[in-house]
Structure 1
Amino acid sequence: MPRSSTDWALLYLRVSGCLLLLWVHGLPKLLNFSHELTVIEDPFHLGAVPTLSLAIFAEVLCPVPIILGVLTRLACLPILCVLLVSLVFVHPQWSVAEGQFAWLLLIIFVTLLIAGPGGLSVSNGLAGARATPAWLS
C-alpha cells in the first residue's frame, strides 16, 4: 500500500524534532552531567540529580521510541512536561522571541501527541498491520 504524504510528513516531524531535541538539549546534558548538575534549575526543589535525571529521561530516552514510532504519544508526555516546566516555572520572563526554540519544540511534540506516529512507524508495522492500539501509538 502506498504511503500518504501525511505519513512522510509525520516521519520527518518525528525524526527531525527528536534529533533537534537530542542534539541541542539531551546529549549536552548527558555528556556533561557533572557540569550540568551545577547549573540546572531546580524549580520544584527535588535536588539537582533527580531534576537533571528527569530532564535526561525526557530529552535523551523519550526521543528514541518517538523516532521509531513506538509509543509515540506516551513518549511525548515527558518531553512536553519538561518544555512546559521550562517555559512556565524556570523562564517565565522569556518573551516569545527568547523562548522560540522551546515554543517550536512544544508545537512539534503536541502535534505528534495529537497525530500519533503516522503510517511509517514500527507501531504500524511498516506493512500496514497495526501492532499497537491507536491511542497508545
Structure 2
Amino acid sequence: MKKDIGLGILRIGSAALMLTHGVPKLSKLLSGDFEFGDPIGIGVPASLFLAVVSEFVCPLFVLVGYKTRLAAIPTIITMLVAIFFVHLSDPFGVQEKAIVYLLLFTVIMIMGAGKYSIDRK
C-alpha cells in the first residue's frame, strides 16, 4: 500500500509538473506560432508537435495512470534530446531540470502506475 501511494504521488506530481512545460507548447501549436527549435533536424512543425505529444499528451496519460509505462517513453526520449542536443553545452544547472525529469519518468516507466490508476482498474 505504501508503495502504491508513493507511486501515485510520483506519477501525479511528475506529470503535473511536466504539463507546465507542455501547455505553453500546446498553445503555440494551436495558435499557429511555429517558432520553435529543431534540435534533431526533422523540421520545426514536427519538433513542436512531438514536444506537445511528449510534454502534454503523454503526461496527461501518466497523470491518470492510463498506459503509463508506454506514455512515459516519449517524455524520456524528449528529455534525452533536451540533455544531449539542446543543453549539451549549457552549464549543469541548466541541464539539471531535464535530467530530473528523465529520472522521474524512467522510474515511472519501470515501476508502472501503481494501484491507484486507470491501469489497475
Q: TM-score, normalised by structure 2?
A: 0.91
Deviation readout 1:25-78 (Å, 9 max, x if unpaired): 10011113344x22x221222111111000001111001111111111100110
State the aligned residue count: 119
1:77 counterpart (73, 78, 85) = 73
Amino acid across the alignment from 2:64: L
Q: Could you tell me how far apart the structure 1 residues matched to 2:4 and 2:91 are?
A: 34
Q: Could you tell me how far apart the structure 2 residues matched to 1:41 and 1:105 are?
A: 19
Q: After TM superposition, where is structure 1 displaced by more than 3 Å over at least 4 residues in a row?
A: none
State which structure, 1 or 2, has the greater radius of gyration over its C-alpha atoms.
Answer: 1
The answer to whether 1:96 aligns with 2:84 is: no
Bigger helix share? 2
The CA deviation at 1:95 is: 2.9
1:42 matched residue in structure 2: 38
Alignment of 1:1-137 (within 5 A): 4-23=1-20, 25-33=21-29, 34-35=32-33, 37-38=34-35, 40-125=36-121
What is the SS of the residue equivalent to 1:70? coil
Q: Could you tell me how far apart the structure 2 residues matched to 1:96 and 1:8 are?
A: 32
Q: Could you tell me how far apart the structure 1 residues matched to 2:40 and 2:91 are?
A: 22
Gaps of 5+ in 2: none
What is the SS of the residue equivalent to 2:39? coil
Tell me the C-alpha RMSD between the 2 structures.
1.2
Gaps of 5+ in 1: 126-137
Q: Could you tell me how far apart the structure 2 residues matched to 1:45 and 1:32 are?
A: 19
